[in-house]
Amino acid sequence: MKYALVVFPSKKLQDLANSYRKRYDPKYALIPPHITLKAAFEASEEEAEVFRGQLKEIAKKYNPFLLKVTKVKSFEPVSNTIYFKVEPTPELEGLFADFRDRLPGGPPPYSFVPHITIGQELSKEEHADVFRQLEMVGIDHEEKVNRFHLLYQLENGIWTVYETYHLGKD
């Protein structure tokens, strides 16, 4: 089965991201707007039982934190992906490192850049046009994050929540 770990932002921020995603992201219907902490990886149900316990331990290590989204950026020239830039925090970076080091799936192909994708798989021309427009719009958003989610992928490609982990020592 395929799993992933994400933070879902507030409904307000998801609605804003989706206002762009429904036009510029072909994966719009497969998963809500999110910050990927561990990209899709394969694991058996037995392996999942083991790492679910590890996820509970990891969640206790980190307190809730302030999520700041500050601007529209792009991964060009690596890819024609446009995103809301999420300011790195020690908590986000720590969660990413713990998931990378303790869970199946090997190291990610890129360094960790916390973000919320709003457009991807765009042609070069469409990317340039859309990015210019969105860059001028800008974004300045803050909210508190107190949980992350283990997702799994259904046969139709849609991602759904398997389990939610609350940050802190509750």
What order do you get walking across the sheet with 35-42 strand by strand? 35-42, 2-7, 147-153, 159-166
Q: Are 134 and 117 in contact (CB under 8 A)?
A: no
At residue 29, what is the residue type?
A
141 is catalytic: no
Handedness of CA 71, 72, 76, 82 (dihedral sign): positive
Name the CA radius of gyration of the chain, rounded: 16
Q: Which of 115, 127, 141, 166 is catalytic?
A: 115
Active centre residues (catalytic): 34, 115
